[in-house]
Amino acid sequence: MQINFGGAFTVKKPIDEVYSFLTDANRFCPLLPDFKSMQKEDDKHFVVTVRVGVSHIRGDAKLRMELLKAESPSRAVYQGKGDVLGGTATLTAGFDLEQADSGTKVNWKGESQIVGRMASLAGGLLEPLAKKNVEKLIQGLQNALA
């Protein structure tokens, strides 16, 4: 099952501050919905653990993440892969920043693919839940950058 998402928002912070926030896993990861922990390996690699669940299927997902592209101050792209309740998940998430009159415009997009038991058992419930969690993350980012 593949899920695509994207959008844009504007914050009043300067582009350098927004870029710095988005490329710092220590500041960014705790905003993930159902965040449990994060283990940083170096400036570009970390493992994040989040609680996942759809209906009665619940557990933790450990995702090995990499800051794949860091083009200061305009672009940050993350790529990750991990185990999710009897299956695997891969994801990419990118942020393109541009100077705006009132601060910084953040264009974001991502893609997630889940295969295995969770995808087959959760069926049509997975995509609405994923989109809801992405909305929570983006709202958290906007609040943190306000």
Neighbour-count burial for 24-58, b at 16+ CB within 10 Å, e otherwise? ebeebbebbbeeeebeeeeeeebbbbbebebeeee
Residue from 62, 127, 132, 142 nearest 95 by CA: 142
Q: How far is CA 83 from the centre of its chain?
A: 16
Rounded-to-integer distance, Cα 75 and Cα 72, Å: 6
Range with lowest mean pLDDT among 4-18, 49-63, 85-99: 49-63
Domain coordinates in residue numbering, the chain: 2-144
State the Rg of the chain over Cα. Answer: 15
For domain 2-144, which CATH number applies: 3.30.530.20, 3.30.1280.10, 3.40.50.720, 3.40.50.300?
Answer: 3.30.530.20
Lowest mean pLDDT among 46-50, 115-119, 122-126, 127-131: 122-126
Distance CA 86, CA 117 (A): 5
Q: Distance between alpha carbon 106 and the CA centroid of its chain, in Å?
A: 14
Q: What digits encode the pLDDT tens for the residues 88-113?
A: 889 999 999 999 988 999 999 999 98
- What's the pTM? 0.88
